[in-house]
Amino acid sequence: MKVIISGGGTGGHIYPAIAIANELKTMDATTEILFVGAEGKMEMEKVPRAGYTIVGLPIVGIKRELTMANLAFPFKLGTSLLRARQIVRDFRPDVAVGVGGYASGPLLLAASMHGTPTLIQEQNSYAGLTNKVLARWAKRICVAYPGMDAFFPAEKIKVTGNPVRSDIQFSSEKVTAGQTLFSLETNRPTLLIIGGSQGARSINESIESGLQRFVDAGIQVIWQTGPAFIERAKTAIAATGSDLIKAYDFIYDMDKAYAVADSVVSRAGALSVSELCLVGRPAILVPFPAAAEDHQTKNAMSLVDHNAALLVNDRTARQELVTAALNLLANQAQQQQLSQQIKTFARPNAARDIANEVVKLTK
């Protein structure tokens, strides 16, 4: 079996794609998998790191504001479509999978034109524009939330959940390894902060302003800042004179980070929400307000409405986030309730269920 998996741009697209690929290889080690991403985007580094081959398309997104860069979009789209058609002709896939992101559009369109069955994996509670367009030709659409027939033909939908990295499913067994990796003390509460693979400015600035409050409360913090904020974070940490705050531009060992976290502050991207459900960590979600159709708030509310997470608005995060985090870390009963409720949303077999749908399309 030969499968093309296309998409990327953010960890929320890349890691589900890798999880699907890993499951396909587990089911049949002879399966050939080719990734197609966007040149210059993070998938071009993350996918080879996971052991897979990837080729890039020159595709870019359209900026919401008026900019000269938008003038190049039609040319890059046309070039990407031609290159995607050549990739499909050369690789001759049995099925093509799109996980969202710039590259999935040209590749899935080219695959459909070639007569290759396609599958879309939509991670969010509000469908992206590219996936809504591609749904016309897709044979199967795997989703994470109920009610997605508002965007897609109901007969094509399969509710599978979002696939996540398989290693985090066993994070509770990795507490000791995590304490060693992050140089943590065993008798202190630990807060994990993840603002997405590129970081989150409002979250970072909120934490920066409250570092001394965490130190005074004896809280250990593992802080993924993203590459743009890391030096500023290190400067702020040095000013406290404490070694309780650990900052990283990117955390590769998320299984160990989840294992040692008593609570988590996170954006509400689909991947982050799915991972939090699987590991069962009490969470404060700070949705990214500029996400398309405010889908991160919709993702967050699907948990908040069931007492499975807390929410702090991005616009008030600088005033409220640190206090909310300190209050949660001081409230064991609330942590336990949130943990129990969020686990009920977990779908640990999502990658296997999607892989099974991929295999069905080859028949």
Q: Is 78 annotated as a binding residue?
A: no
Q: Is 308 annotated as a binding residue?
A: no
Q: Is 12 annotated as a binding residue?
A: yes
Please state the separation of Cα 271 from the chain's center in Å: 3
The C-alpha atoms of residue 100 and residue 124 are separated, in whole angstroms, by 10
Instruction: Indicate the residue type of 79.
Output: T
Please state the separation of Cα 76 from the chain's center in Å: 26
Q: Is 128 annotated as a binding residue?
A: no
Q: Is 183 annotated as a binding residue?
A: no
Q: Is 327 annotated as a binding residue?
A: no
Please state the separation of Cα 274 from the chain's center in Å: 8
Reduce the DSSP state of residue 121 to 3 states and report it. Answer: strand
Residues of the chain by 3-state class (helix, strand, coil), percent to 5:
50, 15, 35
Instruction: Indicate the residue type of 281.
Output: R
Rounded to whole angstroms, what are the CA distances from 312 to 94, 135, 199, 357? 45, 33, 17, 37
347 CB neighbour count, 10 Å cutoff: 17
Q: Is 40 annotated as a binding residue?
A: no
Q: Is 323 annotated as a binding residue?
A: no
Beta strands in 74-231 (DSSP E): 95-98, 118-122, 140-143, 157-159, 190-194, 220-224
Strands in 190-194's sheet, in edge-to-edge order, are 245-248, 220-224, 190-194, 263-266, 283-285, 310-311
Q: Is 242 annotated as a binding residue?
A: no
Q: Is 263 annotated as a binding residue?
A: no
Instruction: Indicate the residue type of 243.
Output: D
Tokens 């708030």 appear where?
297
Mark the binding-site residues, compressed into ranges. Answer: 10-12, 124, 165, 197, 251, 270-275, 296
The binding site for UDP-N-acetyl-alpha-D-glucosamine comprises: 10-12, 124, 165, 197, 251, 270-275, 296
